[in-house]
A and B are shown apart, each in its own frame.
Chain A
Amino acid sequence: MHYLKQFTIIIAISAVSELLALFIPLPIPASIYGMSLLFLLLMTGTLKLKQVESAANLLLGIMPALFVVSGAGLITSYAQIAENFASWVAVNVGSTIVILATTGLLAQGLIRKKKAKEANGNDRSSAGND
């Protein structure tokens, strides 16, 4: 029965967030409201981790497969991109690589700087090897 209970909780949060997205005039989707809501419920202790964990793990486990259907939507979009297809692909490839590199490098730089600082505080010899 614990799966049933957990799914009911998750679906209840989904339903509430759908309503929120419907009535709040912001371009924020239901899933983001729901994530914030579930996070708040867990943080405040209203909901215990073990009350949703098994069902959540199951849903997260199948998540990659859920995108296959929307991926097929590329076929319908093609007609609208056809005219600019080559430049569209170039823009998409370029910006994806730029975001991956910028976000990743900056985050890594900041983390390593912080780690080095902390290591310097404790033990000067272990700081920075890169």
Chain B
Amino acid sequence: MIDHLLETTKYLGLFISLGAFMIGLKLNKKYPYAFMNPLLIGTVLVMGLILALDIEVAVFQKSAQILSDLLTPATICLAVPVYRQFKILRENSWVVLISCLAGMVSGLVTIVGLAFFLRMSGITTLSTLARSITMAIALDTTEVIGGVAGIIVAGVIFAGIFGTVVSGLIFRLFRIEEPIAKGLALGAASHAMGTAESLKVSELQGAMSSLAMVVSGVMMVGLIPLAALFVQS
């Protein structure tokens, strides 16, 4: 029934998605805790609705397709804050390269190491390596090393939402205060979702985050096949 409505109307799914995010924003304003993240709340609400009304996920995603379609132009526009902050970026180009590389290598070591100790299956591990980078690169590189699309999609979303939600706590715990460092960390750990969050804080942090997302993503294209050699199947 609801599937049929979503298929025949053009704006119902779009309204539900935007509405869920707006509820998240409202709750975030009222209760400003990190876990009250609008994206987290919006996603949980939409997931709850899909499960409660037994909606086909593909049907729902298609009904709000325009949001996913706008992701590419929006990501392209990240070039604008990067351009505006270019002077500071150039002064810190080594900081960007070194800290992103360190982040990616330590992330991969953690995945391979933890997966080994927890006896996670080889195929799940392979399909988790690319989880910190932007979706499209993650999907392509995972395919190259023979991973499963469904698992890496979940990992990338998890990295985006969880990293964004937990970042405030981690920054306080490790006394990370420099906006440049915060931006780089969020872009490296939580790709475009972390970058969207960083942009809300300041343009400098957002530009750094965009840069970290791109640099880390490109680095991982080379690093992931190497890490895959250490995964036992």
Interface residues in chain A, defined as those with a beta carbon under 8 Å from any beta carbon in chain B: 10-11, 13-14, 17-18, 26-32, 34-39, 42-43, 49, 52-53, 55-57, 59-60, 62-81, 83-84, 86-88, 90-108, 110-112, 114, 130
Contacts and interface: CB of A to CB of B under 8 A. Distances in A.
A93 B221 CA distance: 22
Contact of B136 (A29, A65, A80): A29
B77 A102 contact: no
**B: interface residue count bin:** 35 or more
A130 B176 CA distance: 12
Contacts of B107: 95, 98-99, 102
Dominant SS at the A interface?
helix
B197 A84 contact: no
B75 A35 contact: yes
Interface in B14-63: 17-18, 20-21, 38-39, 42-43, 46-47, 50-51, 57-58, 60-61
Contact of A99 (B39, B103, B154, B196): B103
A11 B35 CA distance: 35
Given A14-B72, A77-B151, A105 B176 contact: yes
16 contacts: A17-B72, A36-B79, A67-B39, A67-B157, A67-B160, A68-B20, A71-B47, A74-B158, A86-B118, A98-B107, A99-B103, A100-B188, A102-B102, A103-B181, A104-B176, A105-B181
Given A59-B70, A77-B150, A99-B189, A88 B120 contact: yes
Interface in B43-95: 43, 46-47, 50-51, 57-58, 60-61, 64-65, 67-68, 70-84, 86, 92, 94-95
B126 interface: no
Contact of A38 (B39, B76, B160, B217): B76
B140 A104 contact: no
B128 A92 contact: yes
B60 to A, nearest CB: 6
B128 A31 contact: no
B46 A71 contact: yes
B222 to A, nearest CB: 10
Given A38-B76, A53-B80, A31 B134 contact: yes
A34 B102 CA distance: 26
A69 B67 contact: yes
B181 A74 contact: no
B6 interface: no
A39 B190 CA distance: 22
A100 B121 contact: no
Contacts of B228: none
A114 B95 CA distance: 10
A24 to B, nearest CB: 12
Interface in B157-201: 157-163, 166-167, 170-171, 174-178, 180-182, 184-186, 188-190, 192-193, 196-197, 199-200
